[in-house]
Amino acid sequence: MPLYVEIGRFRVRLPINNQLLHYKSSFHLYDTALGKIAAVLKGKYPDLHAIDIGANVGDTAALICESSEIPVLCIEGDPLVLPFLRENAARLGAGITIEESFVGPDGKSVDLNSAHDLGRNACLVQATDSQSSIGLHSLQSILDSHPAFLSSKLLKSDTEGFDFSILQSSLDFLGQAKPVLFFEYDPHLRPSEPKAGLETIDALIGVGYSDFIFYDNYGNFLLHTEASNRTFFSDLDSYLASNWRHGVAVYYFDVCALHHEDADLVPQFRSLTQR
């Protein structure tokens, strides 16, 4: 029997093994903040376009579009979820563009036989640097093929271990377009790169990002901090490390990062899920 979840005004079809319904029924704020952020951004940028890296079945695109029609570039390479993404994109309307790719360095490739959790939340940490015919494409090369999204003011990234490298390799685009970012902060998906999270925060600060709002992985607002509060970032990173060593209460953070040109939105963003 088909499995569906209601996201705003949309009915999204899920693979049978997808856990989204369970999470949303158990944690009422799970997967809600981004839709509210998109609604606020739409008020400031009427021509708002969004980029969804790791689009999965299109549930995030539905969230972005729940309040109004927003063109979304959905980037997804998992062949097992792509049929669901295509089906759901048809329900979301003509504003959805699908790019059937995994994001990574141009010229590199992945071996899906070594991937983990295909069809649900694909993780390619053990599948890169292969001689497979499945090539990776940088965000910039993808955007070159979809120029309508070159000025996108919202970018979400959830790629099970590659978010930091994607952001760091896309700094030219981020510095020019200055999108609000919403990305998964989990430095422990790639234990060989324990400093990648803090290095990414530093890199974002270097191209003008001034404000960072942290949510726990259940969708609860945690805190807002400014770029100058470097100790906060280190402490939060250490908190996640302690969880993984001594018993997990919070698995990861979702981070909303704002360029200083959008710092005026911080009070609105802070209030979205604090109640």
pLDDT band at 64 (very low <50, low <70, confident <90, very high): very high
Taking only the tens place, the pLDDT of each residue in 152-163 is 999 999 998 889
pLDDT number for residue 221: 93
pLDDT band at 6 (very low <50, low <70, confident <90, very high): very high
Give all domains of the chain, ordered by start, each with its CATH number.
3-271 (3.40.50.150)
Taking only the tens place, the pLDDT of each residue in 137-155 is 999 999 999 999 999 999 9
Q: What is the mean pLDDT of residues 166-185?
A: 97
pLDDT number for residue 115: 60
pLDDT number for residue 194: 79
DSSP state of 264: G
What number of other Cβ atoms are within 10 A of residue 85's Cβ?
24
In one letter, which amino acid is 129?
Answer: D
Instruction: Give, in order, the Cα–Cα distances in Å from 214 to each of 1, 95, 107, 219.
Output: 37, 29, 34, 9
Please check the confidence at residue 172 and state whether its pLDDT lies above 80. Answer: yes
pLDDT number for residue 18: 84
Instruction: Check if the beta carbon of residue 55 is closer than 8 Å to that of residue 89.
Output: no
